[in-house]
Amino acid sequence: MSTQNSAAHSFNKVMEIIDRYERSETKIIPILQAVQEEYRYLPQEVLTFIATSLGVSPARLYGVATFYSHFSLEPKGKHILKMCDGTACHVRGSSAVIDAIRKRLSLTDKKITTDDMMYTFETVSCLGACGLAPVLVVDDEVHGQITPEEAMAILDKIDAEEKENA
């Protein structure tokens, strides 16, 4: 894991989060959620810091962090795409959209973040918007009844915006 950011990590924010949850071991999950919200992932040194503060072993914390799919130990890209591959989306053709996005971003089911850290593409099991299947969520915005062509158009738009801002 990269250590280049570690100097920049100020643990004040982490301290504040841990205090908000009264340093309670039973609040590990909400603490990790809040920390991930802050850093967009769970840096190793932050995990160790939390473990020490809570008086639990780093292994205990690592166990929780790796059990739940929401937690990421790797940094994520600037734009996060989540494609629903729940039953309803699956039977309505989510696979074709998944294949198209992976191909365009040169990603696989194992490698989910592009090398330039611009995109992270994940599949999720169900977003509960089955009436609109198949569903793609781009940076928390839900797009329903999506086709591979529409997914490409969304990526084109983000690419264009990024170019403009660059």
Partner 1 sequence: MPNLEQIRERYNDARALCKKRIIVCAGTGCIANGSLKVFEAIKNAIALSGMEVTVSLKSEDPKEHKHHDVYMIGSGCQGFCQVGPLVMIEPNGIMYGHVKPSDAEEIVSRSVAKDEVIERLLYQDPLTGKGYKGPEEIPFYTKQSRTGLKDCGNVDPQNINEYIAHGGYFAARDAFTKYSPEELCKLYQDSGLRGRGGGGFSTGMKWNFARIAEGEKKYVVCNGDEGDPGAFMDRSILEGNPHSVIEGMLIAARAVGADEGYVYVRMEYPLACSRIRKAIKVANEMGILGDDVFGSGQSFHIQVMEGAGAFVCGEETALLSSIEGKRGMPNPKPPFPAQKGLFGKPTVINNVETLALVPIVMQKGPENYRKIGTVKSPGTKTFALTGHVANTGLIEVPFGTTIREIVFEIGGGVLDKDGKINNDAFKAVQIGGPSGGCLTREHLDLPLDFDSLGSIGAMVGSGGMVVMNDSTCMVETARYFMTFTQHESCGKCVPCREGTRQMLEMLEDITKGEATEATLELLEETGRTVKLTSLCGLGKSAPNPVLSTLRYFRDEYEAHVKAKYCPTKNCKALTPISIDPEICVGCTLCKRVCPVGAISGEVKKPHKIDPMICIKCGACISACKFKAIS
Q: Which residues bind partner 1 (CB under 8 A)?
A: 24-30, 32-33, 63-64, 67-71, 85-92, 124-133, 135, 140, 142-144
Q: Are 51 and 83 in contact, with CB atoms under 8 Å apart?
A: no
Cβ 88 to partner 1, closest distance in Å?
A: 4
Query: Strand pairing of 119-124 and 79-84?
Result: parallel
Nearer to partner 1 by Cβ, of 25 and 162: the residue is 25
Tokens representing 46 are: 């932050």
Residue given tokens 């592009």 in the structure block: 114
Handedness of CA 86, 89, 91, 93 (dihedral sign): negative
Strands lying side by side in the sheet with 136-138: 119-124, 79-84, 136-138, 141-143
Cβ 63 to partner 1, closest distance in Å?
A: 6
DSSP per residue, 41-67? S--HHHHHHHHHHHTS-HHHHHHHHHH
Cβ 25 to partner 1, closest distance in Å?
A: 6
Nearer to partner 1 by Cβ, of 118 and 126: the residue is 126
Nearer to partner 1 by Cβ, of 33 and 53: the residue is 33
Nearer to partner 1 by Cβ, of 72 and 114: the residue is 72
Cβ 65 to partner 1, closest distance in Å?
A: 9
Nearer to partner 1 by Cβ, of 70 and 111: the residue is 70
Cβ 117 to partner 1, closest distance in Å?
A: 22
Tokens representing 88 are: 């309803």
d(CA 102, CA 148): 11
